[in-house]
Amino acid sequence: MSKKFTLGIVGVRGYVGRELLALLANSKHIQIDWVSSRQLEGKPLSHLVSNSDSNSVIDNEDFIAPEIEEDHYYKNLKIENLSTSDIANKKTDVVVLALPNGLAQPFVDAIEQTGETKIIIDLSADYRFDDQWIYSVPELLSADKINDIGKQKLIKISNPGCYATAMQVGLAPLVEHIKQPAHCFGISGYSGAGTTPSKNNDPKNLNNNILPYALLEHIHEKEVAYQLNCELSFSPHVAAFFRGINMTFQLELNQRWTIEKLQQHFEDFYQQSALIKVSSEVPNIQQVINTNDCLVGGFKLSQNGKRCSFVSCLDNLLKGAASQALQNIYLALGLELSLKSN
């Protein structure tokens, strides 16, 4: 077997970093070289991806951990607290930045100076508006952009936001066929609010409740508008479930459509995309949690055929974050990736 690519992760205290570790646990092509976290320094890496370990930092039953065998290398790898220069000098093939917004730049600057790392994947919003970075929902990348990736000495990929992924999957096939602005109504599980305590992830505050927030100019609204070059309005909400996103679209079309034509249009658009499934039925969150899939469907039309509504659903921690990051890592390395599609 050929030598594995090495990968390091900066910041694994949050849910997405843990999910990525779980996805990488049994990779045939990539091996974790190091993991850096100030808060978790000294803990064995296996504790981050094991629900059965009494010392695990994971206490949420919705996290589905992989089987970690006794001889798995995760058992012997401890989390470190690495400086920017430490990380740059590791000469790791792939560096994943799983940090809160606004913290990526010092690490990027240090890595760029050494010139040893092949790929940086940033999971935050820091570079989603920077044209020097590749913004990648893999299913929406053109062949030209995919070819360009391999020509770069240092490949810098900005991983899209979870809400933004759900919106783009729904809007991309129709962006040339709608009267703008598009209207998007989203509901996310409270894992989308992160691990830092707040009113948006407080179980008592969420009990029998749904919380609207950032109802104007949400960063994911700006992200989608920038990437698809379209106008839209986005209304985000958080509810009392852990993971998943439901996105409902209301669009005005510029000509008359039929339900059959609309669904066929989406099926044709995503025919090569194993993780995006088109359905005549309205998708729901229970169908996508703990999966890598994004479901889109439930198409409805007004009597005049010019107003449509439909829904997209995905797991915000997987296709909305970690599994999409893994897709982008494999894409940048020129490897084939077969993620399980449920």
Each domain of the chain, given as residue ranges in start order, spans 5-126, 162-316
The residue among 65, 80, 81, 70 whose CA lies nearest residue 25 is 65
pLDDT of residue 341: 66
Q: Which residue in the list 162, 184, 294, 308 is annotated as catalytic?
A: 162
CA angle, corner 271, sides to 137 and 257, nearest 5? Answer: 95
pLDDT of residue 51: 52
Q: Verify whether residue 308 is a known catalytic residue.
A: no
| DSSP-derived 3-state class of residue 209 | coil
Distance from C-alpha of 108 to C-alpha of 339, rounded to nearest angstrom:
28
Does 316 score more than 80 pLDDT?
Answer: yes
Q: Which residues pair with 313 in a beta bridge?
A: 246, 295
pLDDT of residue 81: 96
pLDDT band at residue 59, thresholds of 50, 70 and 90? very low
pLDDT band at residue 97, thresholds of 50, 70 and 90? very high
Q: For residue range 156-201, what is the model confidence (pLDDT) as tens digits?
A: 999 999 999 999 999 999 999 999 899 999 999 999 888 888 899 8
Q: For residue range 11-27, what is the model confidence (pLDDT) as tens digits?
A: 988 889 989 999 998 89
pLDDT band at residue 72, thresholds of 50, 70 and 90? confident
Which bin fits 331, alpha (ψ -120 to 50), beta or left (φ > 0)?
alpha
- Tell me whether residue 233 is exposed, middle or buried, using C-beta atoms within 10 angstroms of its C-beta: 0 to 12, 13 to 18, 19 or more: middle
Are β-strands 94-97 and 307-314 bridged in parallel, bridged antiparallel, or unpaired?
unpaired
pLDDT of residue 259: 97
pLDDT of residue 54: 34
With a CB cutoff of 8 Å and minimum separation 6, the contacts of 334 are: 150
Residue type, 246: N
Look over the chain and give the mean of its residue pLDDT values, rounded to a whole number: 91
pLDDT of residue 67: 65
More confident residue, 210 or 342: 210
pLDDT band at residue 2, thresholds of 50, 70 and 90? low
pLDDT of residue 66: 62
pLDDT of residue 198: 87
Within 10 A of 261 (CB to CB), how many other CB atoms are there? 12
Share of residues in the chain with pLDDT > 70 (%): 94
| Rg, Å, the chain Cα set | 20
Q: For residue range 211-270, what is the model confidence (pLDDT) as tens digits?
A: 999 899 999 999 999 999 999 999 999 999 999 999 999 999 999 999 999 999 999 999
pLDDT band at residue 63, thresholds of 50, 70 and 90? low
pLDDT of residue 26: 85
Does 155 score more than 70 pLDDT?
Answer: yes
Note if the bond before 66 is cis, omega within 30 degrees: no
Distance from C-alpha of 318 to C-alpha of 292, rounded to nearest angstrom:
6
Main-chain phi, psi angles of 37, to 5 degrees: -155, 120
CATH of segment(s) 5-126: 3.40.50.720
DSSP string over 72-109? -GGGG-B-B---HHHHHTT--SEEEE---TT--HHHHH
pLDDT of residue 151: 85
Give yes or no for a contact between 170 and 140, defined as CB atoms under 8 angstroms apart.
no
CATH architecture, domain defined by 162-316:
2-Layer Sandwich (3.30)
pLDDT of residue 110: 96
pLDDT band at residue 58, thresholds of 50, 70 and 90? very low
pLDDT of residue 342: 59
Within 10 A of 231 (CB to CB), how many other CB atoms are there? 12
